[in-house]
Amino acid sequence: MYRKVLLCYDGSREGRRALRQGADVVVCMKSDAHLLAICQSLVSSSIPEAVTPQLCESEDSRAQALLDEGVQWLRDRGVKAEGSLEYGSAVDCIANTARTIGADLIVLGHKNRGRLARWWSASDEESLLERVTCSILVAASDE
């Protein structure tokens, strides 16, 4: 049923839950997996005088480590996975990546008013549900 699954991951507890549930779907459906790590850029919100090569390098290293962690976790569980790293609006990154890879299913974590709530909407007028044409599995918090 699902041939290409987009797993959204940010290293949070909700992101880890989505990763686990998404991996289960990928294994059961014998799907291809694509892990998307989304990071909010520290550089873009810094004052120009605060942006240093060290800040940029640190941010890139942190983001790459996040992606590598998720891809390795999937591979350790027998899931063949590729990954990509994006900076910016989660709604834009998820919608664009889903379209680019031809995702049948997007798996993401959510916690009410939490850090991952940004995945649902970049503004009051625009939601992820309105931007994609594939199914979405939400790994909701137990809370």
Tally of structural domains, the chain: 1
pLDDT at 89: 81
List the CATH number of the domain containing 29: 3.40.50.620
Please name every residue paired with 121 in a beta bridge, in sequence order, or none if there are none: 127
The sign of the dihedral angle between the CA atoms of 69, 140, 39, 34 is positive
Domain that holds residue 10: 4-140
pLDDT in tens, 84-143: 988 878 889 999 999 999 999 999 987 665 455 555 555 555 688 889 999 999 987 766
Exposure of 74 by Cβ count < 10 A (0-12 exposed, 13-18 middle, 19+ buried)? buried
Residue with tokens 């379209």: 99
Contact 136, 129 (CB under 8 A): yes
Q: Is the pTM of this model over 0.85?
A: no
pLDDT digits (tens, 9 = 90+) for 61-85: 777 888 898 899 888 988 889 999 8
